[in-house]
């Protein structure tokens, strides 16, 4: 692994499954951390079998677990617990997303692990956090999105709430986990060397994204509702349908942008209307404004709409499918669609790395490993002999 990565030298033990915990450790692995993913010997992470499979393994798995080492451990066995404790002894971060109390029941809670390694940072991701009356309830990302407020405001007002199309709650929680973990490492570096717990609740991770919702309710009693593709108070910004049946997002809510937009579509009267010079005035007449935009867009093809608006410097975009991304020059120029090979040599594409760091960029060193692929190397580094490792296999420890 290249030394020119910002997290080179950071050792991470991942105890998570599926999305939130593994996504957090994936990000750290992409930027140089040594990530050892601990999996059950009985099948490993369920993500290995999620969504589209190629030769029996999830394509998602190859991305979510890139740059990680796979170590199988039966954490219900005394030998498995002992191995984990040895791993933790010189680790920097443990990332786990079990339900609160699971590790404690195994004798592997924060009290035990931090005594082994006082410098340890433990990132704990769960549905409701490590405290509070809901902490013992199961809480997947969908529950976090619902309780955190996202589902309530997503969709159209005459229909039930809808999901966003991906497991966004888990991913947001993972990002907060990485941020918290890096802040804790920074604190350890600057303030005496002690670790701490980073407690991330999925519902709070989503709730933190809810913009002005809390003060607006407290001060005005205002409850933000579902408004489809528009956002009342910010006009115009919406999705419109073209003459060829495609969809375009237009964001022209800046005052100067709106003026250029109206001039570009031969509505100089609206560009010059003093009542529409600012956002507040446009929002009061938003039905009229959106009606004008809908009519104009409906009279042109998508490519014509984009050409006119780009020339006028009005922010606009087609609604991209993954097929659009594969051929888009911006994605390609920034290396966001990368080439890789499956275990049998078949070429395929994986998403690129972000954020882009100018001096110490992240990279894909290898794809998601086979279950237990790194057992031998990891256990050997911990001081176990080949005979001891073989006995662990026979006894079901690994």
Q: In whole angstroms, give the CA distance from residue 141 to residue 166.
A: 10
User: How many C-beta atoms lie closer than 10 Å to residue 397's C-beta?
Assistant: 23
Q: In whole angstroms, give the CA distance from residue 398 to residue 389.
A: 8
Q: In whole angstroms, give the CA distance from residue 95 to residue 125.
A: 8
Catalogue the active-site residues. 170
Q: In whole angstroms, give the CA distance from residue 148 to residue 143.
A: 8
What is the CA angle 329-332-336, rounded to 5? Answer: 135
What radius of gyration do the chain's Cα atoms show? Answer: 25
101's tokens: 């109390």
Single out the residue of 316, 303, 320 nearest to residue 258, CA to CA.
316
393 contact partners, CB below 8 Å, separation of at least 6: 375
Single out the residue of 73, 65, 59 nearest to residue 18, CA to CA.
65
Q: In whole angstroms, give the CA distance from residue 379 to residue 87.
A: 9
Whether 373 and 70 have beta carbons less than 8 Å apart is answered as yes
What is the CA angle 12-60-72, rounded to 5? Answer: 45
Note if the bond before 325 is cis, omega within 30 degrees: no
Q: In whole angstroms, give the CA distance from residue 331 to residue 323.
A: 12
Whether 174 and 27 have beta carbons less than 8 Å apart is answered as yes
Alpha helices (H) in the chain, listed in sequence order: 20-30, 59-64, 78-89, 102-105, 110-116, 141-147, 168-190, 202-207, 213-220, 255-264, 268-271, 279-284, 286-298, 302-311, 322-327, 329-333, 375-381, 386-395
Note if the bond before 355 is cis, omega within 30 degrees: yes
């Amino acid at each position: 692994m290249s030394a020119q990565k910002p997290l080179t030298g950071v050792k991470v033990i991942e105890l998570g499954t599926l999305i939130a915990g593994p996504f957090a450790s994936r990000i750290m692995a992409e930027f140089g951390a040594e990530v050892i993913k601990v999996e059950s010997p009985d099948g490993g992470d369920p993500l290995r079998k999620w969504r589209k499979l190629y030769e029996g393994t999830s394509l998602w798995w190859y991305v979510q677990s890139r740059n990680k080492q796979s170590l199988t451990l039966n954490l219900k066995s005394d030998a498995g617990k002992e191995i984990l404790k040895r791993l933790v002894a010189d680790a920097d971060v443990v990332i786990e997303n079990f339900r609160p109390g699971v590790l404690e029941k195994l004798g592997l809670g924060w009290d035990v692990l931090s005594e082994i390694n006082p410098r340890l940072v433990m990132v704990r991701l769960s549905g409701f956090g490590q405290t509070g009356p809901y902490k013992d309830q199961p809480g997947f990302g969908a529950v976090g999105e619902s309780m955190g407020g996202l589902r309530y405001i997503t969709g159209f007002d005459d229909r039930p709430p809808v999901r966003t199309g991906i497991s966004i709650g888990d991913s947001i929680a993972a990002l907060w986990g990485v941020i918290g973990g890096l802040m804790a490492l920074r604190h350890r570096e600057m303030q005496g060397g002690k670790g701490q717990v980073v407690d991330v609740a999925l519902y709070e991770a989503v709730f933190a994204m809810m913009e002005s919702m809390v003060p607006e309710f407290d001060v005005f009693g205002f409850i933000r509702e579902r408004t489809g593709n528009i956002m009342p108070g910010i006009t115009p910004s919406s999705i419109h349908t073209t003459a060829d049946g495609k969809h375009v997002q237009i964001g022209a809510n800046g005052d100067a942008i709106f003026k250029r937009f109206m001039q570009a579509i031969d509505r100089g009267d609206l560009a010059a209307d003093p009542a529409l010079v600012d956002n507040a005035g446009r929002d009061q007449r938003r039905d009229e404004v959106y009606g004008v935009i809908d009519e104009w867009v409906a009279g042109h093809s998508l490519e014509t709409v984009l050409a006119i608006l780009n020339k006028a410097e009005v922010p606009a975009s087609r609604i991209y499918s993954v097929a659009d991304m594969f051929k888009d020059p911006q994605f390609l120029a920034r290396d966001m669609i990368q080439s890789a090979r499956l275990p049998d040599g078949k070429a395929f594409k994986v998403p690129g790395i972000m954020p882009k760091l100018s001096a110490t960029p992240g990279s894909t060193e290898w794809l998601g490993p086979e279950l237990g692929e790194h057992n031998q190397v990891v256990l050997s580094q911990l001081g176990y002999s080949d005979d001891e490792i073989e006995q662990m296999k026979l006894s079901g420890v690994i």
